[in-house]
Amino acid sequence: MTLEEELAELGVPAVEGAQPAVESPRAELTVVGPATVHPIGAQWLKWRDRFAEAMDGSYQTIESLEKLVLQGRVQFWPGRNAAIITEVQTYPGGERAIQGLWAAGDVAEVMELIPGAEAYGRLHGCTSVLIEGRAGWARPLKALGYAPWSVTLRKAL
């Protein structure tokens, strides 16, 4: 299956004016132009397995997250050794927040990616950031000014 077919299957629209990859005279090389590669998809492929490792699949699957990323419905922040995924939410009470959904990779680099996501949130009218995750995130996030606001408790039925 080609990249274009995989992206179409995920519901990602084709890039207007994109040309299919052209094989070069040397069979081992394929010439690819910027319009033939989905820029987020190319980065996503580097991180997909790491995010899959962080999930147990009970609330969200890697396939559902991948679809959100490739459709641009969430923000994907890839770095060299870490990546985060955020989503802007507007709540019925009027509050607009950027939410940290998933993180993968080096914790120190995750911390470096957060200020960029915060700036994105401010540019999009967000007045707060919400990060729900494992309790272990409380300590490193404190250095960036985060404090516990609520606790999520769960009971399986």
* Residue 151 in domain: no
Domain CATH for 115? 3.40.630.30
The pLDDT of residue 66: 93
* Residue 81 in domain: yes
**Please, how many CA atoms are within 13 Å of residue 68, restricted to the half-sphere of its CB?**
17
The pLDDT of residue 24: 43
* Residue 27 in domain: no
- The residue segments making up the domain with residue 57 are 38-142
Q: How far apart are CA 29 and CA 23, in angstroms?
A: 7
Look up tokens 């641009």; give the residue: 72
CA dihedral 121, 45, 65, 111 (to 10 degrees): -40
Q: How far apart are CA 84 and CA 97, in angstroms?
A: 16
* Residue 154 in domain: no
Is the model more confident about 78 or about 2? 78
Number of domains in the chain: 1
User: How does pLDDT run across 71-125, given as a tens digit for each residue?
Assistant: 999 999 999 999 999 999 999 999 999 999 999 999 999 999 999 999 999 999 9
* Residue 12 in domain: no
